[in-house]
Amino acid sequence: MAVSRLFIANRGEIALRIVHAAQALDIETVVGISEADQGSAAATLADRALLLGPGPAVHSYLDPRLVVHAAKAAGCDALHPGYGFLSERAILPRLCADHGIAFVGPEPDMIDALGDKLRARAMAKAAGVPLVPGSEEIASAADARREADRIGYPVLLKASAGGGGRGMVIANNAEEAEAGFHKASAEALAAFNDGTLFMERFVPEARHVEVQLMGDGTGKVVHFGERDCSVQRRYQKLVEEAPCTAMPDQVRRQLHEAAVALASSVRYSNAGTAEFLYDVKREEVYFIEVNARIQVEHPVSEMVTGFDLVAEQIRIAGGAALSVSQDDIALTGHAIECRINAEDVGKGFIPVPGRITGWQPPQGEGIRLDSHMAQGAVIPPFYDSMIGKLIVHGKDRAEAVSRLTDALDAFVVEGVPTTLGLHRAIVRHPDFIENRIHTRWLEQVLLADGVPATE
Amino acid sequence: MSGPDTLRDIETLIAEFQASGLRELHVRSGGVEIYLSNDARAAGLDAAPVVRQAAAVAAPSATPAASAAAPAAAAPAAVAGLPDNVVIVRAPYLGTFYRSPKPGSPVYVDVGTVVTPESDMCLVEVMKLFTAVRAGISGTVHAILATDGQMVEADQPLFAVIPG
């Protein structure tokens, strides 16, 4: 049954994005807000805003019972969780099901299964999706040498009971593999009282690539191309683009096929993203995990496909089949997104809540801004620091980079420090322009000598 | 004790707590102290956790349900048509407003009832979890501003109390 009144269990730009998508589908919107978000853009635009509770998220956005109680009291027949907060907590779709509310996302059992890395890897393996080459338990130095020879150097010896980098040794050749066995084993024994080791191929220069998927629960799954999210700081993505131009077409096809096979094999429903590591030198992709939600960076896929992913999510939650087949989805041009955060880059990227006193976003051809901010808007201290996503589209990567550079230069935000200056430095760096980046590039190259002065 | 095992223990504890229907749970083990409550405002978990949690646990509670801290003590009236000196008791969060402890039993308070800061005024229910809201002030109930059995939003005025 098609959705008629949608509850939005989120805040910020994604709440606003969901309200827009629902309104385009002629669906009523109710947004649940905390006391800190009264008067927010989503609350103002929605048909109704309900005050859930105090600002701290545990008392509002992170309380599944409170959220579902509000959705039910408001007569909503569907609930969109956005990203973050409760979006990948299976209790939310379970409570929704108990109260006759359609959840805009996958089944709760699927969320549980994908949240468990070992189960997710088992699913991927069963679907024939490539995993990082690795070993079973390594029992001796000779064993280490033999397995490392088989896997290919460099390899990473890891403690089975491990974490936090302890009991981890990189080996670049057979001698290092043998010596590394003794070192890692001793470290693991000291740290975890368990010297058991295993081995994985180590990828020194990896790209993070991910495939946008959409399924309708029948086994039919389509993809909307891949995204390259290799500009990261401490595993947080800062810049995302589509397509990944650093990848040969043949690898790209393998990537898409693997992602679709995985989602199809488990009859995946709604939006999801299969994340992979791309080994640039070997031209191989390895599965990491599946994110069972709409992602922050979904707009770059929308920009290159011209397709509204959030609207499709809502339609599928209402019981509809996929509205497109793979042949209908054409990828055109290149899109790049920058996450603009209210952070003081020079002080360790510390978030800075406060009031926006000046807000002049760039405008023009190929520019999209997903933001809940405006002049006078307040960034509350309780939530993440993202104030918007600047997305550009061009006929190719060079045009997109050029447009992004101009758009970043034109973007004026006053009242709080932002990451705009850092983005200006990123897009001007020769490595970014020539697309030679990898997941540790930002920290190892651009930020190696401190923060670039461009603000 | 710290690290992944402890985190897993805490997650398990929270899941068990949520499934149990208990209102509050206080655990002290080794160097770790945990206070869980279904009352959004009882513990003040957002700041200075250890001290405030301990204080919340130590606070006497003779009421059947966990009571919310005075939601309104210093708040201005700001509700049209009421005398200037009234204090408004507000909903701590969104939920269903109930004037009596259970269906058919007498209401907690009515117009004219004399209350103390510890007096229970009503219940706010979220998914079968009932939380009593306390007056937070001494005085006389002047008006009842919400309807029994209706949804109230966070901060919504529930009662007007004339201090004294």
Tens digit of pLDDT per residue, chain A (455 long)? 899 999 999 999 999 999 999 999 999 999 999 999 999 999 999 999 999 999 999 999 999 999 999 999 999 999 999 999 999 999 999 999 999 999 999 999 999 999 887 788 899 999 999 999 988 889 999 999 999 999 999 999 988 876 666 778 999 999 999 999 999 999 989 888 888 898 999 998 899 999 999 999 999 999 999 999 999 998 899 999 999 999 999 999 999 999 999 999 999 999 999 999 999 999 999 999 999 999 999 999 999 999 999 999 999 999 999 999 999 999 999 999 999 999 999 999 999 999 999 999 999 999 999 999 999 999 999 999 999 999 999 999 999 999 999 999 999 999 999 999 999 999 999 999 999 999 999 999 999 988 876 54
Identify all chain A residues contacting B126, using CB atoms and an 8 Å cutoff. 63, 65-66, 69
| pLDDT at res. A207 | 97
Mind listing the pLDDT tens digit for each residue in B24-38? 777 766 566 667 776
> Among residues A428, A297, A376, which one has the least CA distance to residue A17?
A297
User: What are the phi and psi torsion angles at B25 (to 5°)?
Assistant: -150, 130
Residues B24 and B80 in one domain: no
Q: Do A53 and B129 touch (CB under 8 A)?
A: no
Residues B156 and B117 in one domain: yes
Same domain? B109 vs B159: yes
Q: Domain check: are B60 and B31 in the same one?
A: no
CB B73 within 8 A of CB B140: no
Same domain assignment for residues B122 and B154 = yes
> A-chain residues within 8 Å CB-CB of B95?
66, 69
ipTM: 0.77
pLDDT in tens, A234-268: 889 999 999 999 999 999 999 999 999 999 999 99
Determine the 3-state secondary structure of B126 from DSSP. Answer: strand
Domains belonging to chain A, first-starting first, are: 5-104 (3.40.50.20), 133-201 (3.30.1490.20), 206-449 (3.30.470.20)
Q: Do B151 and A56 touch (CB under 8 A)?
A: no
B133: tokens are 């809201």
Query: What's this model's pTM, rounded to 2 decimal places?
Result: 0.82
Residue of B nearest to A99 (CA): B127
Interface test with B, best of A69, A72, A383 (most B CBs within 10 A): A69
Per-residue pLDDT tens over the stretch B66-114:
344 334 433 444 577 888 899 999 999 999 999 999 999 999 999 999 9
The CATH number linked to B136 is: 2.40.50.100
Q: Within this chain, do residues B18 and B62 fall inside the same structural domain, yes or no?
A: no
Residues B24 and B53 in one domain: no
Q: Which of A322, A219, A198, A308 is nearest to A265 (CA)?
A: A219
Distance CA A261, CA A256 (A): 8
The catalytic residue positions of A are 293
Report the alpha-carbon distance of residue A34 to residue A42 in Å, rounded. 12
Share of chain A above pLDDT 90, in %: 89
| CA–CA–CA angle B95, B98, B101 (5° rounding) | 125
Task: Kindly report, residue by residue over A383-414, the tens digit of the pLDDT.
Answer: 999 999 999 999 999 999 999 999 999 999 99
Tell whether A73 is within 8 A of chain B (Cβ): yes
Domain tally, chain B: 2
Q: Which of B7, B10, B93, B124 to mutate to test the interface with A (most CBs of A within 10 A)?
A: B93
The terminus-to-terminus CA distance of chain B in angstroms comes to 51
Residue A359 in tokens: 């807000």
Q: Do residues A8 and A27 lie in contact, with contact meaning Cβ atoms separated by under 8 Å?
A: no
**Which range of residues forms the domain containing residue B32?**
1-40
pLDDT of residue A174: 95
Q: Cβ contacts (< 8 Å) between B156 and chain A: which residues?
A: 51
Average pLDDT, chain A: 95
- Judge contact between A267 and A297, C-beta under 8 A: no
Q: Are residues B32 and B63 in the same domain?
A: no
What pLDDT does residue A166 have? 75
Residues A148-157 have pLDDT tens digits of 999 999 999 9
B126 and B66 within one domain: yes
Nearest Cα of chain B lies from the Cα of A97 at a distance, in angstroms, of: 14
Taking CA atoms, A250 is separated from A253, A256, A287, A356, in Å, by 5, 10, 17, 46
Contact status, residue A2 vs residue A318, Cβ threshold 8 Å: yes
**Same domain flag for B29 and B56:** no
As a whole number of Å, the CA-based R_g of chain A is: 23
| Same domain, yes or no: B62 and B133 | yes
Contact check, Cβ <8 Å, B153/A95: no
Mean per-residue pLDDT of chain B:
74
Contact yes or no for A237/A300 (Cβ under 8 A): no
The CA–CA distances, whole Å, from A225 to A165, A204, A331 equal: 34, 25, 7
Contact B94 A68 (CB under 8 A): no
A32 interfacial to chain B (CB closer than 8 Å): yes
Asked whether residue B60 falls in the same domain as residue B128, the answer is yes
